Amino acid sequence: MTSSFFANFIDDQSSINRHKPKKLNRMKTKQQSDAATAVFLQTVSAAVTQLKQKLQQDYEQAYPGLGEIIRLVLDEEETKAWELSLFPHLLLPDLVEAHVARLDLQPAETKHDDVLVPHRFLETPTYRPALALCG
């Protein structure tokens, strides 16, 4: 008698109308993905261009007679940065600094307040005790 109960239960479950997921329009999804990728690459490329200009200025100020060499170093290290990451602007300053060090030159001062958000790690928050009355 118990076997027929389970058989009916299984039959009842098989008659439930299950929702089928909609098929994705792959063409539309691919187009959106391609558009997002293009915007991302344009944004990163603009950031790299801006960073290269600032690094060029900083190194030319530190080494006025080496403008052409600095341009070559920046171009070479930009190529390496793109090969290493989709975020080359994060690697470029360190790659340039290492290349300059191999040329027996000191790295230029490249601190820009407008590029990085200043951190406040050294600030110590002050806490004030609160008075709580428990009755």
Q: By the 8 A CB rule, do 105 and 73 touch?
A: no
pTM value > 0.75: no
Residue 60 lies in a domain: yes
Residue 121 lies in a domain: no
Residue 42 lies in a domain: yes
Residue 88 lies in a domain: yes
Residue 119 lies in a domain: no
- Identify the domain containing residue 93 by its residue range: 32-110
Q: Name which residue leads in pLDDT, 105 or 69.
A: 69
33-61 pLDDT, tens digit per residue, is 888 888 999 999 999 999 999 999 999 99
Q: By the 8 A CB rule, do 107 and 97 touch?
A: yes
Residue 75 lies in a domain: yes
84-116 pLDDT, tens digit per residue, is 999 999 999 999 999 999 999 887 776 654 544
Which runs of consecutive H residues, i.e. helices, occur in the chain? 2-14, 26-62, 67-84, 88-102
CA distance 29 to 25: 6
Residue 129 lies in a domain: no
Least confident span in 28-42, 57-71, 87-101, 120-134: 120-134
Residue 10 lies in a domain: no
Q: By the 8 A CB rule, do 70 and 64 touch?
A: no
User: How many separate domains does the chain show?
Assistant: 1
